Amino acid sequence: MSDDPRRPLRSRPRRNRKSPAVRDLCRETTLTVGNLVYPVFLHEADGDEPLSSLPGRTRYGLDGLVREATRVSALGIRSIVLFPAVPEDQKTSDGREAANPDGLVPRALRRLRAECPELTLITDVALDPYNSDGHDGIVADDGRILNDETVEVLCRQAVTQARAGADIIAPSDMMDGRVGAIRDALDADGHHEVSILSYTAKYASAFYGPFRGALDSAPKSGDKKTYQMDPGNAREALRELALDEAEGADMVMVKPAGPYLDVIRALRESTPLPVAAYQVSGEYLMIKAAAASGWLDERSVALESLLGIRRAGAEVIFTYFAPEVAEWLA
């Protein structure tokens, strides 16, 4: 290249940006509705309740859940994940309601399986919605989270969900060895086709606050740092990945997404398995709040944030923006 204005430049990257059609031809990463999973909240009440902690999102009764599932399916969304808000009187220290075949999630699965058969149904496996202590596992008298005792309950929970119609089981608890134990339990009960999407690298993040408000599932004491990953660690995610692969995970996840794009990339480069990422409630709420204040354009920023997650290497994105994105992309 020369500063001489009489000498033409041979290489001009701007030529590949000169029109919308050319930019489309040259685009390296695309975002489609098929990449998205829509997280949906449900509760035991008959009616639906707008969530103050997640503007634009709702906690549904079973009838409302079916209506919402039908609506988003018509938009092209093909996968939803269910998160239950369990009444306080159903919460116990051992989280046994998680494996109740007549519990909220199994009943929701049976309704959705019958009325929205085109949807892929994903379920969360963890004890925090069902645990009177608000933790993902059983809490010992001295405050420790009991790993192996928790895994036994998680296996019963996973089998209960599979029997009710779940297509994909997504353990988010971060107990050691739970993927292999759940795989064995599912196979022993004949659910060989039910997939496991493991929360492989779930960090002890400050971005989960609005979600815990939506489910009333915050820990009653202590925190989750003894089982969720330290935000300063990236190599540790590869150790978790190796274990999940060996134990039979079909897909692996990084949560949260935006602050951990480097971890998404590290997993993408280290495994042939599909990589998922969860754009969590705090990420969603920051965009919504800034847009409501007039500082950001919600549509542009939401789409750019999701494209960045895709570019980092995630094929699957859990996002509360899913219905809006489906409409925008259409």
Residues 6 or more apart whose Cβ sits within 8 Å of residue 274:
250, 251, 252, 315, 316
Residue 21 lies in a domain: no
Q: Based on the structure, what is the number of domains in the chain?
A: 1
pLDDT reported for residue 9:
85
In a domain, 18, yes or no: no
pLDDT for position 6:
67
3-state SS of the chain is: CCCCCCCCCCCCHHHHHCCHHHHHHHCCCCCCHHHEEEEEEEECCCCCEECCCCCCCEEECHHHHHHHHHHHHHCCCCEEEEEEECCHHHCECCCHHHHCCCCHHHHHHHHHHHHCCCCEEEEEECCCCCECCCCCCEECCCCCEEHHHHHHHHHHHHHHHHHHCCCEEEECCCCCCHHHHHHHHHHHCCCCCCEEEEEEEEECCHHHHHHHHHHCCCCCCCCCCCCCECCCCCHHHHHHHHHHHHHCCCEEEEECCHHHHHHHHHHHCCCCCCEEEEECHHHHHHHHHHHHCCCCCHHHHHHHHHHHHHHHCCCEEEECCHHHHHHHHC
Q: State the pLDDT confidence band at 215, using cuts at 50, 70 and 90.
A: low
Inform me whether the pLDDT recorded for 209 exceeds 80.
Answer: yes
Distance CA 261, CA 56 (A): 26
Let me know if residue 96 belongs to a domain: yes
**CA 156/CA 191 separation, integer angstroms:** 13
- Residue 284 has a pLDDT of 96
For 230-276, how does the pLDDT look when each residue is reduced to its tens digit (9 = 90+)?
999 999 999 999 999 999 999 999 999 999 999 999 999 999 999 99
Query: Is the separation of the CB atoms in 157 and 163 below 8 Å?
Result: no
179 in a domain, yes or no?
yes
Q: Tens digit of pLDDT for each residue in 268-321?
A: 999 999 999 999 999 999 999 999 999 999 999 999 999 999 999 999 999 999
| pLDDT 10s digits, 106-140 | 999 999 999 999 999 999 999 999 998 889 999 99
The single residue of 202, 224, 225, 288 carrying the catalytic annotation is: 202
**Does 202 qualify as catalytic in the annotation?**
yes
Query: Which residue, among 240, 224, 129, has the nearest Cα to 176 in the 3D structure?
Result: 240
**Whether the predicted pLDDT of 222 surpasses 90:** no
Where in the sequence is the domain holding 85, given as residue range(s)? Answer: 31-329
Q: What percent of the chain lies above the pLDDT cut of 70?
A: 96
Q: Is residue 26 part of a domain?
A: no
Instruction: Give 164-175 pLDDT, tens digit per residue.
Output: 999 999 999 999
Name the pTM for this structure: 0.94
User: Residue 317: beta bridge partners?
Assistant: 36, 277
Q: How confident is the model at residue 2, as a pLDDT?
A: 53
Which is catalytic among the residues 91, 224, 255, 288? 255
Q: Is residue 162 part of a domain?
A: yes
**What CATH number should be reported for the domain holding residue 158?**
3.20.20.70
Write down the pLDDT at residue 133. Answer: 86
